[in-house]
Chain A
Amino acid sequence: MPMYQNGTEVDPAFRDLEVRQDKIMRRLNELKAAVDGLAKTVTTPDADLDQTVTSLSQSPTATSFRGTADLDSLLGKDLGALRDIVINANPARPPLTLLVLHAMLCQRYRVLSSVHVHSSVSGVPAQLLSCLGPRHADSYVRQRFQLGFTLIWKDVSKLQMKFSIQNMCPIEGEANVARFLFRLVAPYPSDPALATLVDSWVDTAFFQLAEGSAKERSAVLRALNGALGRDPWLAGPELSLADIACYCCVLQTGPAASSPANVQRWLKACENLGHFGPANPLLQ
């Protein structure tokens, strides 16, 4: 096959090829620019906020800047955008466990929190609008934060979380979001039986205590009483997600005074820890 030389005796077929190649390269560059633009839109966290209306309160002023750098190892390297946890919750069923876990996240990371109201709901009570604490003084400098926590009051039938939407499906159910948030705060017990015990109590809290009949509820209270007779916390010697979920669901569904003795003692012990402050104003 003759080679292309000096441009004098060029086979017209080669010139055509050259023109075509230039065209293709131009088109590729255009495409690359378009994809870069799209990537920017996608990785900007606000892109996920669908037509929210009022932007209200923001996170604690006195965030203790104890943030650690281990988010990368937990969540994988990110692309430089703020990792924003976006939660759609129904104001008729405030997710108390998530408020407690939010406060725990704030002790560990620099969290940029915000509360919004979606156009599908109206008349959201003031305590729900301020449930993540007062607006953060630095909230305009997103790069000073490690995590975003965006709570949107919305008319959803099940609580939803959207996080890292390129890699992960939307997560449904308060129990599963609680599991996710708790993994950011502390690791699950390394013992498979203890870790599974935690998950089992979490399911019990959300499906039998919070949604179950009076009969189911009293059966769970008896089970709780039995477990708390053996150990100080539900999954052994340390506070776990099991305690947080059960605490919130027990108080949400009835007066503490009607609980059995071990449960009452444990409720007091939970209160003494101070983690449950954010949930208390929302409990009837």
Chain B
Amino acid sequence: MALNLTINSSNPPLGVLLAAEHVKGSVNLSVDEGKDNKLRVSESVQFSDVNSITRYLARVTPTLSLYGSNMLEQTEVDHWMEFSTRRVCGQSGLATALGELDMALALRTFLVGHSLTLADLCVWAALKGSNDWQSIQKQAGAFSHVARWFSFLGSQVPFTAVGNKYANSKA
């Protein structure tokens, strides 16, 4: 089963691209550039919103546990996915959202459980694409847990690859 992912090249969905990088060894997935984000699963099934695309990619690669490893973790992943689209990318103040994120990360290396999940990918991607976060990040000591987590993930291979290739074209 070959999956076909088309991305909006003028505003690349970083979360989707990160998920695609992570699963590409486990599924047959081709990525094309186009006008809209779309994951074609079959003739009749396709997903066009970012959270649905990443959810599907996580579900077809269950061994990677990107959707968490139990029901409680799945629920936390759901929470952070909505957080990334509604709170980080949303209209209301980023500072409040960052405050909550900072508290959640105080005792954690990854947002959910002890390994990488969609929660990390989606929230990291949302911050990476946020100009406000880029300027907040330059202030020393601001949201130190978020900063630590952000640079920890950002220094790893799939993140550097996606960041270098696409983040600049977003601005």
Contact = CB atoms under 8 A, between A and B. Distances in A.
Interface string B121-156: 000000000000000000000000000000000000
B49 A203 contact: yes
A184 B51 CA distance: 22
Interface in B91-147: 104
Interface residues of A, number: 26
Interface in B41-70: 41-42, 45, 47, 49, 51-52, 55-56, 59-60, 70
Contacts of A196: 47, 52, 55-56, 59
Interface stretch (A116-124, A170-178, A214-222): A170-178
B31 interface: no
A168 interface: yes
Contacts of B78: 171, 175-176, 179-180
Interface string A143-171: 00000000000000000000110011101
Q: Is the interface of A mostly helix, strand, loop or mixed?
A: helix
Interface of B: 41-42, 45, 47, 49, 51-52, 55-56, 59-60, 70-72, 74-76, 78-79, 82-83, 86, 104
Contact of A167 (B41, B52, B72, B74): B72
A180 B168 CA distance: 37
21 contacts: A74-B71, A76-B72, A167-B72, A168-B72, A168-B75, A169-B76, A169-B104, A172-B79, A172-B82, A173-B82, A175-B82, A176-B75, A176-B78, A176-B79, A183-B75, A192-B56, A193-B42, A193-B56, A196-B47, A199-B52, A203-B51
Contacts of B75: 168, 171, 176, 179-180, 183
A207 B79 CA distance: 14
Contacts of B72: 75-76, 163-164, 167-168
Contacts of A167: 72
B160 to A, nearest CB: 27
A42 interface: no
A200 B81 CA distance: 12
Contacts of B104: 169
A183 B42 contact: no
Given A173-B82, A173-B86, 20 more contacts: A76-B70, A76-B72, A168-B72, A171-B76, A171-B78, A173-B79, A176-B78, A179-B75, A180-B71, A183-B75, A192-B56, A192-B60, A193-B41, A193-B42, A193-B45, A193-B56, A196-B47, A200-B49, A200-B51, A203-B49
A267 to B, nearest CB: 24
B108 to A, nearest CB: 9
B71 to A, nearest CB: 5
Contacts of B60: 192
A153 B45 CA distance: 40
Contacts of B45: 193, 197
Most buried by A among B41, B52, B55, B78: B78
Nearest to A190: B59
A82 interface: no
Contacts of A76: 70, 72
A193 B84 CA distance: 22
A183 B73 CA distance: 12
Contacts of A171: 75-76, 78-79
